[in-house]
Amino acid sequence: MKWIDMPPVWLLGALVLARLGAGLGAVPRLPMSGAVFIAMGLGLIALAAWEFRRARTTIIPRDAPSALIRTGIFAKTRNPIYLGDALILAGCALWWGSLPGLLLVPVFIWLINKRFIAGEEARLRDTFLAEFDAYAQQVRRWL
What DSSP letter does each residue of 70-134 carry, written as one string?
-SGGGGT-S-HHHHHHHHHHHHHHHHHT-HHHHHHHHHHHHHHIIIIIHHHHHHHHHHHTHHHHH
Task: Give tens-digit pLDDT for 2-28.
Answer: 778 899 999 999 999 999 998 777 678
| Whole-prediction pTM | 0.94
Residue-level pLDDT at 26: 67
Q: Which pLDDT belongs to residue 1? A: 60
pLDDT value for 62:
87
Residues 6+ apart with CB under 8 A from 104: 14, 17, 18, 89, 93
Query: In the chain, which residues have pLDDT < 70?
Result: 1, 26
pLDDT at 37: 98
